[in-house]
Amino acid sequence: MALFSTLRRDTPREPDIRRTGADDPVLAQWGMLVDDPAAEYWILDGRDGKPVAMAWLRPVTGQQGTVQAWILVDRVVRHFGLGERMWKVLEQRARKLKATSITSFATGPEGAAFLYEHGFDATHDQTMPDGTVRAHGICQLR
């Protein structure tokens, strides 16, 4: 199974962001589950109804006003502006939680570029055992 389904222009259905729970099998299949009952999850379904992006958000224990988030995006999702829609959902939810900043990380050049485009200041990069680079950063909410 491909990690991301293709976004086809000939399908009339518009992409849809849906909030889901930790029991959603798609999250486990993509390795998106975190061991935190306070975590909230979203899935962005493409025009063909298959997941094209996912995200989670959770308060950071011991750091009042900070939430941690992860958005799984690729070049196709960024090209169509769908990652931007997912980011807006996370940012709105962070504000409702009275967060003043979001810490996040992204894997690979597409994910890192997405973070930097959204005002994240890089804190450090980490090379994973498989050779991919994971960028870490923090964004102050205005």
- pLDDT single digits (tens) 80-97: 677 778 888 888 888 898
CA nearest to 32, candidates 54, 16, 9, 47: 54
Task: Give me the residue label for tokens 């070049």.
Answer: 75
What is the three-state SS of 22-46? Answer: CCCHHHHHCCCCCCCCCCEEEEEEC
Res. 61: pLDDT tops 70: yes
User: CB of 106 within 8 A of CB of 90?
Assistant: no
User: Which superfamily does 16-140 belong to?
Assistant: Gcn5-related N-acetyltransferase (GNAT) (3.40.630.30)
Q: Pick the range with the lowest mean pLDDT from 8-12, 109-113, 128-132.
A: 8-12
Q: What are the domain boundaries of the chain?
A: 16-140
Distance CA 2, CA 7 (A): 13
Q: Number of C-alpha atoms within 13 angstroms, CB side, residue 114?
A: 30
pLDDT attached to residue 41? 92
- pLDDT single digits (tens) 1-14: 444 455 455 444 56
